[in-house]
Structure 1
Amino acid sequence: MGSTPRRSLRRRWASLLGATTLAVTASGALACPAGAATDVDYPTHCVPPPIAGIPDIDGTTTGRITADKTSAKVGDTVTVTYTVVKPAASNPTDLALPADIMTPTGKVTLGGAQSGSVTVTGPKKNDPVPGKGAFPSFSMTGTFTVTSPGAITLSPGDYNIHTSYILELDTPCTVKNPPAPVSETVTATDNPPANTRSIQLGSASGAPGAAVTVTGGGFTPGASVTLAGRSGAAQTADKATVTANAQGAVSGSLVVNDRTTTGVVAYEGGAWSAELGAGPVAYVVVDDTPVPPGSQKLTTTVKAGTLSMSQAGDAVQLSAVDFGTGGASTGNLNAVTVKDFRGGPAGWSLTGKVTDFSGPGGKIGAGKLSWTPECGTKAGSPSTCQAGSAGVVGGTGATLASTANGTLTGGEFTASARLSLDVPAFTPPGTYAGVLTLTLT
C-alpha cells in the first residue's frame, strides 16, 4: 500500500518532466542585438523521453540567429547565437516547473559562400514556469572561422534540451524540411596575405649617374617589377624594369641620377603601393661637385643604425572574471620601445597577433581579445608615432603603432595598449593563457 503513492508520484513527475523538455524544444532562436536579425518560423519534430509516455510532437519553432559581426574577413572568428524566441507549446500541467533545469545544445546551419554547421550550447538556466504558463525562450552560442569570401547565410538547425529534474533526460528536435529559412547573413571579404616582398641594395651610396644593384624576393612569379628612386613620399625620375623569375626573385640595376633620391623601392603594378611594393631602402647620392681652386672640401659620415624594439616584460596578468558572469578580463600590454636609427626614408609598422587562450575548459577564441593602442614619440624624433585603431587583435593580427614614410624618418617611440578579453559567461573555471606575438617591420 505504501509503494502505490510512490509509483503514482514517479509517474506524475515523469509525465511532467517529459512535457517540460518537449514543450521547450519545440521552439528555437538566437539572442542578438535588437533589430540585427530576422525571426523565422520552421516546422520541427520533437521526440520526448520515452519515460514521459508522451507522443512525438510536430510544431512550429520561431527562431533567430545573430552574429557578433555581419562583416568579416577570411580568417576571422564569428560568434553566433541561436535563441528560442517563441516555444511552440506551454506547460500542459497545473504544476509549476522550477528554474534552471534545462541545458540546450544545437546547430546553426551555414550556407551560401560557406557550408557546414556550427555547434552551439547554452547555460543551464531558465525562469520558473507556472502551471499552464508559456515556456521561456533560451539562447545558445558558438563560433566558426570564416574560410570563404562572399555571403554566408545562417539558419536555425536541430537542437536538443537536456533536463536535470528528478532524472537526466534529453528531448531532441529536428528541422523537418532543412534547411530552415535564413535568419542572418555574414558578408565575408578576402583577407589579403601579408606582403613579404623585400629588396637589398649592392651599395648604400654612389655618385650621380652610378648604377646600384637591386636584388629581392617575394614578388609574383613572372610579374613586371619597377625599380625606382624615392624622395620621401614622391618618386624620382630614376626608374628601371625587371621581371620576377619563377621563384618570385628579382635582380637588376638602377642608374641613380636624381640628387634628391634618398631611397630605392621595387613594386608591381603601375604605381607604388605598400601592398605590392618593397622598400624604401636608404640610398645616398654622393655630391661629386669639384672643389673650387683654393678651397678644401670637408666631409663627415653619419652611420646608419638599425630598427629595433624591446619590451618591458613578457607576461601580462589580466583581471579575473566570475563564472556565470564572464565579461571583460582587462590589463595593460607591457610597454614596447621602438628605436628607428636607420636614418632613411622608410617608416615602420608594429603589429600583433594572438593565439587562442587554452585552459582546463577548452579554449577562448583569439577573436575575443581586443586592444586600445597608445603610442608616444620622444622629443626630437623626426617621425611621429601613430597608434593603431582600437579593435579585435585576433589570430590574423592588428596594428599596434606605426610611422609613415618620409624624406627623413627615425626616432624613439613607446607603444602600449589597454587589453580586454571577452570571456564567455559559463567558461569553466581555471587559468587560460594565450601568446601575443609582436612583429616590427
Structure 2
Amino acid sequence: MARSIERIGPYEGIAELASGGMATTYLARKTGEVGFERLVVLKRVHPHLLKEPNLRDMLADEARVAASMRHPNVVPVEDVVDASGELCLVMPYVESLSLGALLDAARRGGERLPPAVASRILLDVLAGLDAAHEAKDLRGEPLEIVHRDVSPRNVLVGTDGQARLIDFGVAKAARRITQTKSGIMKGTIAYMAPEQLRRRELDRRADVFAAGVVLYEAITGERLFDGRDEADVLIGVLADEIPRLSETALGLSPAVDEVLEAALCRDPEERFASAAAFAEALERALPPAPAREVAAILARLGAAEIERRREAVRVFLDQPRIEGAMENAPRRRSSSRAIVVLASAAALAGGGFLAASAMRRAAPSPTRANAGVEARVAWAREVVVVSTNTALTEAPGGSGAAAAPSAEARPAAGAATGSARPKAPASRWDLHANPYRAGEIGDNRR
C-alpha cells in the first residue's frame, strides 16, 4: 500500500523517527538533478508552534551554531527550510548508535568497552569539542561556543568507527539571538560541571568536565555520578570522591587517574584549560585503538539493530509513494520501530529547547513516602544556589569545590518513613528506544 509522505523542497519524507514537544524528526531523502539522492534527517517544528514568539530565533541559533563547524567529529546542520508553512532543520544521516546505547549493549552482554576503544571514542569527542570551542562566524569572530550537554546520548559512534558530537540546541554562544534566562540550567545533571550547577558563568572548561565524566563511564561502563534521585546525583557532582581506576580490577595506569583528576577538578582554574589539552594528555596516558576496532565492536554489539535499520530503509525506498502530508503518515510499529534510533535524529524532538531546571520539576503530591527526598532536594538547593551573602567553604584537598555535609548530615532518602528509596537502574535505554529524546533538565538519563 502506498504510504502518504510529503515533499518539502528537495526533501522527500520517508518515515517518522520520533516526536517531542517542539518538533518531529523524519528520515528523508534529498533528491536532485540527474538522479542525485541522499538520506538526511529533517527536524520539523510542529505547525501549531510556528506562531510562538522567539521560536524562529531559537531554531536560528541552533542552526547557526551547528552550521559554523565543518569537522569530521561534529554532526552539522546542513540547511534550514522556512517556507510554505514549514520550519525544518536538515542534518546528515549517520549510521550509528549513541555511545549510551553502545554502553547499554555492552552491559547487557556482561562486558565493557576495551579501555583503548573508550580512549579512541573520547579523543574523537574532544576533537569535536575543540572545533566547537574554536569556531568562528563568517566575519571571523569567535563564537565562544560551550556545548553544555556533553553526554553519552549526544555522542554518535558510527559504523565507520568514528565518534561524532551532536545536538547544539542548548549550546551557549556569543551573539546568540536568544539568551538563557537567569536561573535556568541547561544540560543533564550527571554530566554538568559544578560551576554549571551553581549557575555561574561558563566557558569551555565546563565541557571538559563533562567529557571527563563521559570518559569514566566509557571505560568502566558505570555512571560516575549516580543516585536514587536528582538530589543524590547533584550532591555527587559537587562533593563525591573520584574513584582511582588504577586501584580497581581494570588495572589501568596511574597516568589515567591523573588525566581524569585533571579533567574533573571541581575548580575550573585547576582543570584542563581546553579540550585539546585534555586530548593530548589522554592520548599519552591511554593510547587509543584504531577506528577499525571501534567499528568492529559496534558491528558486534549492534549488529541486529543496524541491520534492522538498513532493512527498514530498503523497504521504505522500495515502496510506491504518493504526495501527502507527513502528519497523516501511519506510524510504523513492531520491527519497523528499529529505525527510531536512526543516528542523526540527534537534535530531535526539540532537543535543545526544553530548559526546565531539575529543581523545578512538578513534584508529586506530598506524602510521607517522598518527604525524605524533598528534604534532600531542599538541601541540594541550598548548596547550589549561592546568594551574595553566602560563601561556599573550600573542600578538603583544595579542589575549590563546596564542602558538602557529611553523609550523616545529609537528609537521608526515605527519612520520613525509615525505608530507603530503591536505586534507579543504571540506564533506561535499550537499542529499540530513542536515545536522543529531549527531556527536562536533570533527566537522569545517559
* TM-score w.r.t. length of structure 2: 0.21
Asked which structure has the greater CA Rg, the reply is 1
Which one scores higher on RCO, CA 8 angstroms, separation ≥ 6? 2
Q: Which one has the bigger strand percentage?
A: 1
* TM-score w.r.t. length of structure 1: 0.21
